[in-house]
Amino acid sequence: MVYGADTYDVVLSDSGPTFYATKNVGIWPFTYTFKMQGKVISYSTSWYSGSGYSQISFPFVGLYSLDYAYVRLSNSAGFYRSWTYHQGSFTCNFYYPYLSDADGGPSSKLTMKWHYEFVGDLGSY
């Protein structure tokens, strides 16, 4: 019986004004694709979405359950906002109080982290 680490994190990050990143984790047939996308819009409603999973499993390692997903938007002017979710996939609209990067505003960065806790080895499920 092989036990995995206590936690497992999946992190995606990209610079603005349009954000997009994907990451594949695991090995076939246990492959999971995480996706992040979004956009900051000048003085308007900006948005992002994250696509993840409530559970992930790895052969010979074990089963992990989502504890939380954390999102942070920041820019070079010192502005930041953060959000926490307890489901794997989520969307958000928010007000961005600057010119967007494309219009001469401060450079922005979006980061998403899915944090998983070890549940048990796959032999018991």
Q: What is the pLDDT of residue 125?
A: 43
Give tens-digit pLDDT for 25-55: 998 888 999 999 999 999 999 999 999 999 9
Give tens-digit pLDDT for 50-72: 999 999 998 888 899 999 999 99
Tell me which of 47 and 1 has the higher pLDDT. 47
Identify the band that residue 21 occupies on the pLDDT scale cut at 50, 70 and 90: very high
Provide the whole-model pTM: 0.91
Q: What is the mean predicted confidence (pLDDT) over 89-110?
A: 97
* Cβ–Cβ < 8 Å for 69, 87: yes
Q: What is the pLDDT of residue 124?
A: 46
